[in-house]
Amino acid sequence: MKIKYVIRSVAFVITACFMLISLTVFCQANNPRDVLGMYGFYQEPESSIDVGIIGASEVYSGFYSPLAYEKYGFTSYALSTSAMPASLFVPAIKELYSKQKPQVLVIEMWSYTYNKKMQTSEDSLRKFLDNTPPSDNKTETIKKLIPEDQQKYYKYPVLKYHNFSSNLPNCSKVAIDKIKYKRRGYSIIKNYSTTTFSFSKNPDKHNSDNRAKKVSFSDEGIKYLKETLEYCKNSKIENVLFVYFPDLNTFNKENFAKSEQLITSYGYNFINLNNHKKEIGLENKDFYNICHLNINGAVKLTNYLGKYIDNNYKIEKNHSQEVKKEWDDCASYNDFIIENCRKKLKKNKEIQIYRESEFLTIK
Amino acid sequence: MTLTSINFFVFVAAVLLLYYCFPKKLRWTVLLAASYFYYIITCPKYFAFILFTTISTYFGALKIDEIAKNTSDTIKARKNEWSLQERKNFKLKEQKKKKKLLAIILVINFGILATLKYYNNFSQSLAALINKTGLGISFPSLGILLPLGISFYTFQTMGYAVDVYRGKTKSEKNIGKLALFTSFFPQIIQGPISIYNDLAPQLYEPHSLKFENIRDGFQLIIWGLFKKIVIADRFIQPMNKIAELRTAGQADAAKMFLYVLLYSVQLYADFSGGIDISRGIAKMLGIDLAINFKRPYFSKSISEYWRRWHITLGAWCKNYIFYPVAMSKPFVNLGRRTKEKFGRHLGKQLPGSIATIITFLVIGIWHGSNLKYVGFGLWNGLVIFCSNLLEPSFQKINKKLKIRTETFSFRIFQMARTFIIVLVGYYFDIADNFRDAVRLIIKLFTDLNLSSVFSKSQIISIGFTKDELPCYAIGITVLFAVSLYEERNHTTLQKSLNQQSIWFQWFVMLVGIAAIFVLGSYGPGFSASDFVYMQF
């Protein structure tokens, strides 16, 4: 066969592979908010994050990292996805430490109240696993948490997401934002997202999903809490703060006291911010549903928690010029973003904002 | 290892690499090893059956050839000693030997096929019939499935045996080569059924690596995968939904008509897609397998339909059933007597038409043991029978009504008419049994409300969603557009494509790959369907 045909064939194969890889990346928008949140983490310069926060949606809706940087000078990133189960906390910590060396690890504890079904729900697992790059950590997690016959669909997420024809708008938006992050080298909003809704004074007036529940620790939760504690201890992670973000549920106090005992027995700190709502200045209208804060709530919580972390942990804030420039840039948008979100909040239309463009445009 | 699995394509890549790296003289052995490897991996328990067919046919054909050679040698040697009559008698005696031997080969191998395919159903039906008299009889059932491709390789190999008997081809002296002809892996699952003289030389001849073969084969594979994965496997979803509704007694005539319409697309895309993949793989090896489909839904008559649908099965049945039956003494005599009594047209058509019915009965039985397949064969045979016999009457009607049969509108009418006849035939396919098929067909004509077939509620009730509809639409549109282009231009899209600039060729192929990737029915939530004709 002539050389030119060999070259043509090879060139075609390379082009086809490139096209398929691009389509693979493009099609994977299972939940655009989480895709971008996780993607943003991997864009951060290595070893530039002072405080890593692990948890579910309470975290990314309640803590605004650029504001914490502006107020207290430490960098942070919420490595969190929607309904992230506690079964993923150890893998998430491993992922965090694979790229960063945070001086403080904050673990939001709401996920430890999930029951067994929620700890292994495909939807929740995928939001994290599908958005992490291939690694030993990912492979081990898949082997541990996923039934054998389903594992290949997690190893190769494209098998699930290839049919994105119905999801084209989301895939396109995600692709555009990913390119922006890549070009810039970071995301401005650091996985923050909010919903423009404010609870009325009486949350029980809302639908059943938004009525306060009595929450307690599940057996699964205890199991994963122990797993997390053991991992942190064995990995010699010294500064770990276990925290309950504020919400409007009621708690089984005994049950929660046990978890606090367990945590402190490992020498780690624990704080239940529900006991500090007054100090934080939180009211019902600072929530957009039973367990999530809106922009007003997030600002208050970030101020309080940021101060708590800064006061209780000696964080060295020596960053390179490049990292400082990045975070100064992000912080420069804080006032505008917060004000913009408040304006949208006033309309009370319950819209989730997670894209940079939505934070930065007035509509 | 189905034709659309990743493992299969890894296997094909390995075979291609080995084939072109091997010394030329031994390349056919690579194909044999690959074919046997594929068969053993896919169907290990029933490997003995294909082995038996190969060995029995090999020795049988050798012996037939030997008898034929001895006959001609003996007659040559005794040319001066024997009279013409003696030579004729000797020839006849040897011919009888050959016939007997051929009959043994055919009976044994078709007997195996018939037993494996029809015994269980036949024994159950027989027992049910006998038990109506009050006797409590039951026959033991054969606890084995059909060996992979048994219908295809049996027909193909028996065709070879008959060709040796007829003197059309010499018997193959090398058992390995015959084994390759019998088991060639790209076509073992669902054909095409090849003629020995067409395929064998290509199998044994060492092919050099040619860019055009790789390119053309690759294009065929892409097209086949598009039809199978994007269209056929997707259409299974709403069909399964209707089947569920039918089981629950909620499928009316409109739903069943919709089912048959979907089935017509799904079956064609599945079968022709699989054939294209097979042909593509063979082409990459330098081998041209027979075309098995030629846009059958553009046919203007049922006869034409069967010259465009599963072409090789039709050709096989024509060569080995229709012509022997139609040219047999009883049928020739029938023709002569009919001509004397009823005129030239009937005398010419009647024997052929009866032979056609017999042929289609065989085609029907080939599809399965259920009586409904007999109905399927009978339906097609009778339609052709009637259209052949009534042709002069139709011509008179057209003349009287001044219908211009050469016009575009009349051709559309003919295509629509043929398609409806084909759809009625499909009711036999989809029904549970013969009675059920007849009931469904009656309902089609008495209860069908055409306006409700494509109503919004109907579409939603069978699982079509707004998100999925574009995928169906794209698949159907592309299939139709390509078929229309090929029909109008009397060429294949592939030929036209390869005449275009390299960039355009690349563009089309990349779009095809992207379409399979994005629109294909695979992954969690989709259950990949087996190729329909794999069950044969």
Search chain A and give the residue with CA nearest B513. A16
Contacts (Cβ under 8 Å, ≥6 apart) of B481: none
For residue A16, give how far its alpha carbon lies from the nearest alpha carbon of chain B (Å): 6
Asked, as a colleague might, if the bond just before B192 is cis with ω within 30 of 0, I would say: yes
Contact A16 B510 (CB under 8 A): yes
> What is the rounded distance in angstroms from the CA atom of residue A183 to the CA atom of residue A180?
5
pLDDT value at residue A253: 75
Contact A162 B506 (CB under 8 A): no
Helix, strand, or coil (residue A53): strand
> What is the rounded distance in angstroms from the CA atom of residue A336 to the CA atom of residue A332?
8
A276 touches chain B (CB under 8 A): no
Contact B471 A9 (CB under 8 A): no
Contact B514 A23 (CB under 8 A): yes
φ, ψ dihedrals at B463, nearest 5°: 95, 0
pLDDT value at residue B63: 94
Whether the CB-CB separation of A174 and A40 falls below 8 Å is answered with no
Contacts of A9 in chain B (CB under 8 A): 211, 214
pLDDT in tens, B360-385: 998 888 888 788 888 999 999 999 99
The better pLDDT of the pair B63, B334 is held by B63
Search chain B and give the residue with CA nearest A151. B524
Number of other CB atoms surrounding residue B442 within 10 Å: 12
Contact B518 A165 (CB under 8 A): yes
Instruction: Find the DSSP H helices in A185-294.
Output: 219-234, 253-265, 277-280
pLDDT in tens, B186-245: 999 888 999 999 999 999 998 999 999 999 999 999 999 999 999 999 898 889 888 888
Contacts of A19 in chain B (CB under 8 A): 510, 513-514
Search chain B and give the residue with CA nearest A160. B523
pLDDT in tens, B274-285: 999 999 999 999
For residue A302, give how far its alpha carbon lies from the nearest alpha carbon of chain B (Å): 40
Contact B510 A19 (CB under 8 A): yes
Q: What is the ipTM for the molecules in this complex?
A: 0.79
Among A144, A214, A184, A195, smallest CA distance to A44 is for A184
Contact A163 B513 (CB under 8 A): no
pLDDT reading at B143 higher than 70: no
Contact A2 B522 (CB under 8 A): no
A15 touches chain B (CB under 8 A): yes
**Torsion angle of the four alpha carbons A234, A240, A246, A249, in this order, in degrees rounded to the nearest 10:** 20
Q: Percentage of chain B surpassing pLDDT 90?
A: 54
pLDDT value at residue B251: 80
Residues within 8 A of A (CB atoms), B 176-235 only: 209-211, 214
B525 touches chain A (CB under 8 A): yes
pLDDT value at residue A200: 64
Contacts of A150 in chain B (CB under 8 A): 524
Half-sphere exposure of A320 (CA within 13 A, CB side): 8
A153 touches chain B (CB under 8 A): yes
Q: What pairs with residue A176 in β-bridges? A: none
pLDDT in tens, A183-216: 999 999 999 999 988 876 555 555 555 555 667 7
- The burial class, CB within 10 Å (0-12 / 13-18 / 19+), for A254 is exposed
Q: Tokens in use for B507? A: 């563009």
Contact B467 A166 (CB under 8 A): yes
Contact B522 A12 (CB under 8 A): no
Contact B518 A163 (CB under 8 A): yes
B510 touches chain A (CB under 8 A): yes
Place of tokens 């909003």: A189
Whether the CB-CB separation of A174 and A166 falls below 8 Å is answered with no
Among A310, A308, A296, smallest CA distance to A341 is for A296
Rg of the Cα atoms in chain A? 21
Contact B470 A165 (CB under 8 A): yes
C-alpha dihedral sign at A59, A62, A68, A70 = positive
Contact A162 B468 (CB under 8 A): no
Cβ-defined contacts of A44-48 (< 8 Å, 24+): A44/A77, A44/A99, A44/A100, A44/A186, A45/A185, A45/A186, A45/A320, A45/A322, A45/A323, A45/A326, A46/A99, A46/A100, A47/A99, A47/A100, A47/A101, A48/A75, A48/A100, A48/A319, A48/A320, A48/A323, A48/A326
> What is the rounded distance in angstroms from the CA atom of residue A298 to the CA atom of residue A311?
19
Angle of helix B253-284 relative to helix B469-489, nearest 10 degrees?
A: 60
Number of other CB atoms surrounding residue A219 within 10 Å: 9
Tell how far CA A124 is from the center of its chain.
12
> What is the rounded distance in angstroms from the CA atom of residue B380 to the CA atom of residue B360?
7
Among A28, A25, A31, A27, smallest CA distance to A56 is for A31
Search chain B and give the residue with CA nearest A26. B518
> What is the rounded distance in angstroms from the CA atom of residue B375 to the CA atom of residue B357?
11
Residue A266 gets which letter from DSSP? T
Contacts of A154 in chain B (CB under 8 A): none
Place of tokens 């090789």: B312
pLDDT reading at B528 higher than 60: no
Q: Tokens in use for B133? A: 């008299």
For residue B104, give how far its alpha carbon lies from the nearest alpha carbon of chain A (Å): 48
C-alpha dihedral sign at B204, B209, B213, B217 = positive
Using CB atoms, which residue from A2, A20, A160 is nearest to B523?
A160
pTM assigned to the model: 0.83
pLDDT reading at B168 higher than 60: yes
pLDDT value at residue B164: 95
Using CB atoms, which residue from A8, A16, A162 is nearest to B518?
A162
The residues of chain A scoring below 70 in pLDDT are: 1, 29, 164-166, 200-214, 363
pLDDT value at residue A307: 96
Whether the CB-CB separation of B260 and B194 falls below 8 Å is answered with no
pLDDT value at residue A211: 56
A165 touches chain B (CB under 8 A): yes
Q: What pairs with residue A108 in β-bridges? A: A243
Helix, strand, or coil (residue A207): coil
